[in-house]
Amino acid sequence: MEQRIGFIGLGNMGNAILQGILASNIVSGTQMYVYDPHLEKGQVLNQVYSINNLDSAREVARESDIVFVAVKPNVIVDVLNDIQKELKKNTIVISIAAGVTIKTIAKCVGYEQKIIRVMPNTPALVNAAMCSITPNTEVTDEELSIVQQLLNCIGETEVVSEYLIDAVVGASGSSPAFVFMFIEALADGAVKGGLSRAQAYKFAAQAVMGSAKLLLESGKHPGELKDMVCSPAGTTIEGVHALEEKGFRSAIINAVEAAIKKSKEMAEG
Ligand SMILES: NC(=O)C1=CN([C@@H]2O[C@H](COP(=O)(O)OP(=O)(O)OC[C@H]3O[C@@H](n4cnc5c(N)ncnc54)[C@H](OP(=O)(O)O)[C@@H]3O)[C@@H](O)[C@H]2O)C=CC1
Ligand SMILES: O=C(O)[C@@H]1CCC=N1
């Protein structure tokens, strides 16, 4: 790939996406331009991968063909206003911010700028992200495909309409936190039953990962897969009943709904 790729913000997500792209070797370190106020983050990337560590977001915008703006939602408008003059006509601006609409981004960088909203998640750190991609009407199919290729370096991608991004936040953007809480709770239960803490995390995490893999690869309905585990008068159905008594599914639906609601509220300002 010939494009020069910029990163403004090297936090959890910016760094995860950058590392995934680097590991895939589809672009070299010298094609990448970064800025984060914590200059040491870029210095390490420069020393290890020869990435261009620049002194400002503006310089990154000036040098890049595709620029990932990976800062928190409360600072993104300032950053976009700041870089706006440095963008070329064909620069693709990618925002990963939750609750920041294409309209808000366009107000800062111009309605004719190419803009893509992406909603990733932290499993990007292990190349197992789920990313939604939403381009504005200025982005061509070819450009969309280039960005998709970049994001496929860190996991799976799906193109969705903008109105669905809030639901994506609930399903995959925020949900890793819910899953980690579930794994922690499974392990607590197993520690109560006598497993060491380290073994409990390994057994619980592997069970969650294996179950997700089985669902994705078998194409079976999750209810059918649940039934396969529940032997008549066995152990699992006891646990299923205990979860139902405590409103397990309802609690999770509520959590996803709360994340969606917050994402919508953020978008409304
Ligand atoms: N974390 C997640 O699971 C997900 C996050 N997102 C979105 O990703 C975005 C980034 O989140 P995350 O990576 O977690 O946040 P982080 O706080 O980890 O990273 C943001 C980085 O940007 C830096 N920064 C602040 N201001 C600027 C600036 N003006 N120019 C350049 N860099 C700046 C921050 O520095 P400092 O710490 O000093 O502020 C920090 O290093 C958010 O908009 C969030 O909505 C989307 C999906 C999942
Ligand atoms: O909590 C947040 O706002 C971000 C967006 C999705 C996941 N984390």
Q: Tell me whether residue 168 is in a domain.
A: no
What is d(CA 190, CA 16) in angstroms, rounded to the nearest whole number? 31
Instruction: Say if residues 66 and 3 touch (Cβ distance below 8 Å).
Output: yes
Same domain assignment for residues 134 and 249: no
Give the pLDDT of residue 269.
78
What is d(CA 86, CA 56) in angstroms, rounded to the nearest whole number? 11
Instruction: Report the sign of the C-alpha dihedral through residues 182, 184, 190, 192, in that order.
Output: negative
Instruction: Say if residues 102 and 42 touch (Cβ distance below 8 Å).
Output: no
Is residue 222 part of an annotated ligand binding site? no
What is d(CA 44, CA 103) in angstroms, rounded to the nearest whole number? 35
Same domain assignment for residues 95 and 180: no
- Where a domain ends, among 162, 184, 210? 162
Give the pLDDT of residue 209.
98
Q: Quick check: 80 pLDDT over 90?
A: yes
The CATH number for 217's domain is: 1.10.3730.10
Same domain assignment for residues 135 and 16: yes
Instruction: Say if residues 42 and 51 touch (Cβ distance below 8 Å).
Output: yes
User: Which DSSP symbol is given to 71?
Assistant: S
- Where a domain ends, among 121, 143, 162? 162
Same domain assignment for residues 123 and 245: no
Give the pLDDT of residue 109.
98
Q: Strand 114-119's sheet: what is its strand order?
A: 52-53, 32-35, 5-8, 66-69, 92-95, 114-119, 129-135, 155-159
Q: Tell me whether residue 88 is in a domain.
A: yes
- Where a domain ends, among 162, 194, 227? 162
Pocket residue to mutate for ligand 2, from 75, 169, 181, 265, most atoms within 8 A of Cβ:
169
Same domain assignment for residues 180 and 155: no
Give the pLDDT of residue 43.
96
CB neighbours of 230 closer than 8 A, spacing ≥ 6?
A: 236, 237, 240
Same domain assignment for residues 151 and 196: no
Is residue 71 part of an annotated ligand binding site? yes
Q: Which helix (H) or strand (E) holds 146?
A: helix 141-151
Report the relative pairing of strands 66-69 and 5-8 from DSSP bridges.
parallel
Q: Which helix (H) or strand (E) holds 14?
A: helix 12-24
Give the pLDDT of residue 189.
98
pLDDT tens, residue by residue, 134-169: 999 999 999 999 999 999 999 999 999 999 999 999
Pocket residue to mutate for ligand 1, from 8, 10, 36, 165, most atoms within 8 A of Cβ:
36
Residues having CB within 6 Å of any atom of ligand 1? 8-14, 35-38, 57, 70-73, 75, 79, 96-98, 119-122, 173
Averaged pLDDT, 231-254: 98
Q: What is the mean pLDDT of the chain?
A: 97
Within a 10 A sphere around the Cβ of 122, how many other Cβ atoms?
15
Q: Quick check: 173 pLDDT over 90?
A: yes
What is d(CA 86, CA 60) in angstroms, rounded to the nearest whole number? 9
For residue 129, what are the β-bridge partners? 155
Task: Give the range of the structural domain holding residue 251, as residue numbers without chain letter.
Answer: 173-268
Averaged pLDDT, 30-41: 97
CB neighbours of 12 closer than 8 A, spacing ≥ 6?
A: 122
